Amino acid sequence: MEVGAQIRASGVSKVFPSQGGDLLAVDNVDLTIPAGQFVSIIGPSGCGKSTLLRMFADLESPSSGTIELGGISAAEARKARKYSFVFQAPTLLPWKSVLRNTALPLKILGVAKSERVSVAQEMLALVGLSGFEDRLPWQLSGGMQQRVSIARALTVRPPILLMDEPFGALDEITRDKMNQELLTLRKSQAQTVIFITHSISEAVFLSDRVIVMSARPGRIIADLLISLGSERTASVRLRPEFSECIKMIRGKLVDAYDSTKKSDLKPA
């Protein structure tokens, strides 16, 4: 069982300098995620949720505020491989086999080949891709490619998983299937997960907690615990509590979108 790590953001803001004046993308976000929690962040397009995630990954640095992953700064956490990042695109190297793609992080780390191969095989088995080791990425479907990228993320056994709309490009049936698999996976992996998504039902189905962000500048406008239990199968979607959660988040999101309109009307 992999152990998670706590994530903390305090007073985090991000300003992007642009021609028409500075653009405030993330505004004063305070967030503490306990070790092992699965948190989804949902919000209107361009609300800064990806920017927030990228700051956790040290791919962007906050303009103000501090970020801690497992008690150390985001930059230190990146250097210590405390997290793995899963992008919306599978971002596999097209000329490398599934096995080699999966083992890539270990290769960069300088892990010996035999161990690389065995760990990569183990992770591929976890995502149900045993027997596909020698395939090349273009020979796999989009869903399978994304599973490879999740297996790759798990090879370094990170305490934290940062996922930026990983299933956003998949069709709905495949997405539901991937959601189910991700939950199954979490029975053996207790990482802390931050999961960015546009899909309300995906967020509710997967998460212990859903955070709703407002339109730009991105602020946290709702922070909801999802108490659907840890055993979640397709039938959870049919339960009244599930619909209740969806309805509530939908309401918050409508507010968030309305605030977009108002801010659009304001003179710049």
Partner 1 sequence: MPSDVGDTDDEVKLGDTSHFVDVDGSKSPAALGVLRGVIVVVGLVGLWEVVRLILRVDPLTMPSVASLWLKLMTRDINGDLFIFFLLKNMLVTGGGSVAGLCLGAFLGVVCGLLIAEKDLIRRSLLPLIVIAQTVPIVAIAPAVVLFFGVGTLSKAVVAAFLTFFPSAITTARGIQSVPGETIELMQTYNASSWAILIAVKLPYALPLIFVGLETSAAFSVVGAIVAELPFGSRNGLGVVILSSWQFYTIEPQSLYCTVLATCALGGIIVSFIRLAARLALGGRQNYF
Residues that bind partner 1 (CB under 8 A): 57, 59, 78-79, 81, 83-85, 87, 89, 91, 93-95, 97, 104-105, 107-109, 134-139, 156
Give 38 or 85: the residue with its C-beta nearer to partner 1. Answer: 85
Give 149 or 197: the residue with its C-beta nearer to partner 1. Answer: 149
Give 50 or 214: the residue with its C-beta nearer to partner 1. Answer: 50
Q: How far is the CB of 143 from partner 1 (least distance, A)?
A: 17
Q: How far is the CB of 174 from partner 1 (least distance, A)?
A: 21
Q: How far is the CB of 57 from partner 1 (least distance, A)?
A: 6
Give 92 or 253: the residue with its C-beta nearer to partner 1. Answer: 92
Q: How far is the CB of 134 from partner 1 (least distance, A)?
A: 5
Give 80 or 254: the residue with its C-beta nearer to partner 1. Answer: 80
183's tokens: 């939950």
User: Which residue in 55, 52, 38, 41 sits closest to 197, CA to CA?
Assistant: 41
Place of tokens 């967030």: 31
User: Which residue in 191, 206, 142, 148 sits closest to 168, CA to CA?
Assistant: 142
**Neighbouring residues of 159: CB distance < 8 A, sequence distance ≥ 6:** 2, 3, 4, 5, 35, 70, 82, 83, 191, 192
Burial class of residue 104 (count of CB atoms within 10 Å of its CB; 0-12, 13-18, 19+)? middle
Strand order in the sheet with 160-164: 83-86, 160-164, 192-197, 38-42, 209-213, 220-225
Q: How far is the CB of 124 from partner 1 (least distance, A)?
A: 14
